[in-house]
């Protein structure tokens, strides 16, 4: 009897393995859930920021601190382009302190930061940003290429979108990219897509958010990243992901349709004001602000609220999703 039970368990495991393919290799983390009266989770999102305080980075950082205190945030998410113009030179690059530790000094921002890499980060020493040495310098810092973060009712799937962009390989111009541990590119992308799809499918969280650097739907200067539209978007749609959060375009933006994945851009951490907007369906484009700022999210089991703020802390846009009937 015991042998039959064991054999059945083994068969079940093998069937799951062969149906899903190899198990996911993405690093998984858990952020402790803080006890709040409403059981909520709150965090800020900032992108495209690391300029040693310049281009209003310090002003944005101050307002992040003010909002972070009001919301009693749990952590901060960085959607990449953490250090301009060409990432970090190494673990002892003073830009780390000058653009991060010495800028985001408000007490409310002394929380864990979860970061992905942007294209400018890949123009420097990628391994430096991923190194635990930086965490020893500033405990808040955590950066990986791709990983999964669970916190209460939310699962976050952080994805390295940089290798998807073909022109970085075929038309690098005068830039040098650090593709260590990425090549061969096709295998890297294939493995990442497999792992993301598997992790999202296996998630039992109420909310599922995917975080990357490049935009999938955007009216910004860079335009849509076609490689992500072709390869990542189908996974988001099939798995009914609630939010895709990105930077890259130096603006604040909300694109979405009723009952579908919402696309939120928070790339206004410093240099902005590009002055150009791509045509987009006004029924989908809920916000486009060509300036500096950031975003906050407040999540409960039934509702996800997100708010965009400008460099002075003024509210530019509010919206929410409900698990019972998604609305904008």
Q: Which residues are catalytic?
A: 222
Apex 28 CA angle, 24 and 29, nearest 5: 175
For residue 206 the two structure tokens come to: 């109420």
Nearest to 328 by CA among 241, 263, 243, 257: 257
Q: Which residues, 6 or more positions from 119, have their beta carbon under 8 angstroms from its beta carbon?
A: 80, 81, 162, 165, 168, 213, 214, 248
Nearest to 60 by CA among 49, 75, 76, 73: 49
Q: Which class for 126: exposed (0-12), middle (13-18), buried (19 or more C-beta within 10 A)?
A: buried
Q: What is the 3-state secondary structure (H, E, C) of 149-182?
A: EEECCEEEEECCCHHHCCHHHHCCCCCCCCCCCC
Apex 120 CA angle, 118 and 126, nearest 5: 75
Torsion angle, alpha carbons of 308, 42, 138, 30, to 10: -130
Nearest to 147 by CA among 29, 251, 257, 47: 29
């Amino acid at each position: 009897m015991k042998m039959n039970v064991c054999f059945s368990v083994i068969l079940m495991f093998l069937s799951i393995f062969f149906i899903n393919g190899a198990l996911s290799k993405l690093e998984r983390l858990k952020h402790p859930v803080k006890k709040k009266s409403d059981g909520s989770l709150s965090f800020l999102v900032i992108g495209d920021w690391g300029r040693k305080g310049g281009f209003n980075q310090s002003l944005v950082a101050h307002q992040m601190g003010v909002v972070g205190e009001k919301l009693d945030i749990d952590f901060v998410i960085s959607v990449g382009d953490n250090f301009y113009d060409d990432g970090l030179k190494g673990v002892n690059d003073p830009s780390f302190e000058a653009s991060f530790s010495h800028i985001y000094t408000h007490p409310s921002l002394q929380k864990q930061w979860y970061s992905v890499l942007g294209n400018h980060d890949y123009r420097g020493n990628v391994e430096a940003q991923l190194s635990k040495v930086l965490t020893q310098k500033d405990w808040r810092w955590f950066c990986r290429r791709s990983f999964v973060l669970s916190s209460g009712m939310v699962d976050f799937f952080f994805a390295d979108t940089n290798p998807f962009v073909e022109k970085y390989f075929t038309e690098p111009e005068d830039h040098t990219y650090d593709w260590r541990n990425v090549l061969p590119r096709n295998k890297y992308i294939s493995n990442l897509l497999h792992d993301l799809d598997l992790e999202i499918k296996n998630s039992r969280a109420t909310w599922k958010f995917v975080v990357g650097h490049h935009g999938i739907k955007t009216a910004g200067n860079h335009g849509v990243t076609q490689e992500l539209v072709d390869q990542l978007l189908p996974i988001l749609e099939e798995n009914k992901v609630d939010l895709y959060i990105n930077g890259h375009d130096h603006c604040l933006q909300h694109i979405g349709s009723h009952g579908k994945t919402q696309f939120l851009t928070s790339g206004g951490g410093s240099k902005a004001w590009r002055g150009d907007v791509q045509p987009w369906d006004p029924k989908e484009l809920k916000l486009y602000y060509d300036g500096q700022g950031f975003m906050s999210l407040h999540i409960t089991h039934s509702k996800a609220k997100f708010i965009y703020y400008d460099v002075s802390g003024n509210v530019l846009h509010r919206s929410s999703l409900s698990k019972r009937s998604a609305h904008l």
